Homo-oligomer: A and B are copies of this chain.
């Protein structure tokens, strides 16, 4: 097991009706800015719950943080927040609203342009932020990471901000999500786990078990979560799984990969394809191309999650990679680039960006431009 430091101070407030706790959770003297995406929180009742809970409190609203939040939009929020002397941020939305709000939290205490914070990769000072989660997928509600896009240049990069002070997770708010969003959320959750699990075997038995615990849960509940009438318990498992998949708890003392994510970010930046949908494609290429490097864990993954035990090792790995792809197809997502009309032109641009940036991602640092091309070609 590798040395590690784990420190996640976010308070998780989970369950039905928990939005009503907002006034107790936000210090009374704070000047709050509430950040939103589009209008879905108005139709599903979340906006009303939030505003009712904060009646009599001092807040301004900022609307319009888009999917794949852009620095262009966030600059406007930062300007408004500075003008209004905001010192507490409440993100009401999914991963995009929360990620964007992490940049606002840093930007409010920064004199330069917010894109500089993204390029530097780390926020120095931030105002406190909290969240009311409305889409389970990115885990941003209980981690310090955020991914910001710059539309002008079609770039999309992660940076490290601050952990939310608290996050309210009410599974009932997920009922009204379109099925495709649930599918992308389940895909994102599953791949978050694979990025921390499908690496070198034998690093931590316990972390392996916890990662597998999320994979088991997500694969078991996925059909019910995508049904016409998912029940509360199913949505609870989905919501909790998504949060625990990327809140530092399953990466204690183990190596991580993230090459699939970095390639997926480029596909989103270039095509606008939803993050979870890019992962459902790219992960299959990653497993095919890095099959030897991930051999031990692929065998373990196949046996423990998909029950694949018979045959030679090569056959078991083949079946495991097929079972993995079948899972993403069962979510109703594409697993091939060609299904999304993505081909050589995009592959060439991703390769160019990896080479220009001198990027080497993945557990072994061997996913460079040429390897990214091979991975994408393997999921054409």
Stoichiometry (number of copies): 2
Using A3-B14, A241-B206 as known contacts, say yes or no to A236 and B253 having CB atoms under 8 A apart: yes
A7 touches B3 (CB 8 A): no
B3 touches A18 (CB 8 A): yes
Q: How far is the CB of A13 from chain B (nearest CB, A)?
A: 5
Q: How far is the CB of A128 from chain B (nearest CB, A)?
A: 14
Question: Could you mark each residue 1-39 of chain A with 1 if its beta carbon is under 8 Å from any beta carbon of chain B, else 0?
Answer: 111111111111111111000000000000000000000
Neighbour of A5 across the interface among B8, B11, B213, CB < 8 A: B11
Interface size on A, residues (CB 8 A): 43
Q: Please report the C-alpha to C-alpha distance between residue A281 and residue B244 in the assembled complex, in whole angstroms.
A: 34
Question: Could you mark each residue 223-243 of chain A with 1 if its beta carbon is under 8 Å from any beta carbon of chain B, else 0?
Answer: 000000000110011001100
B9 touches A9 (CB 8 A): yes
Central interface residue in A1, A3, A15, by most chain B CB within 10 Å:
A1
The A203-253 residues at the B interface (CB cut-off 8 A) are 204-206, 209-210, 212-214, 216-217, 220-221, 232-233, 236-237, 240-241, 244, 249, 252-253
Please name the residue on chain B nearest to A18 by beta carbon.
Answer: B3
Q: Which 9 A-B pairs have the closest CB atoms?
A: A3-B15, A209-B213, A1-B236, A7-B11, A6-B12, A206-B217, A9-B9, A205-B217, A210-B213
12 pairs from A and B in contact (CB 8 Å cutoff) = A1-B14, A1-B240, A3-B14, A5-B13, A5-B14, A6-B11, A14-B252, A202-B233, A205-B220, A205-B237, A209-B209, A209-B212
Contacts A3-B16, A7-B9 supplied; 4 other A-B pairs, CB < 8 Å: A3-B17, A5-B11, A205-B216, A236-B253
Point out residues on A near B: beta carbons under 8 Å. 1-18, 166, 171, 202, 204-206, 209-210, 212-214, 216-217, 220-221, 232-233, 236-237, 240-241, 244, 249, 252-253
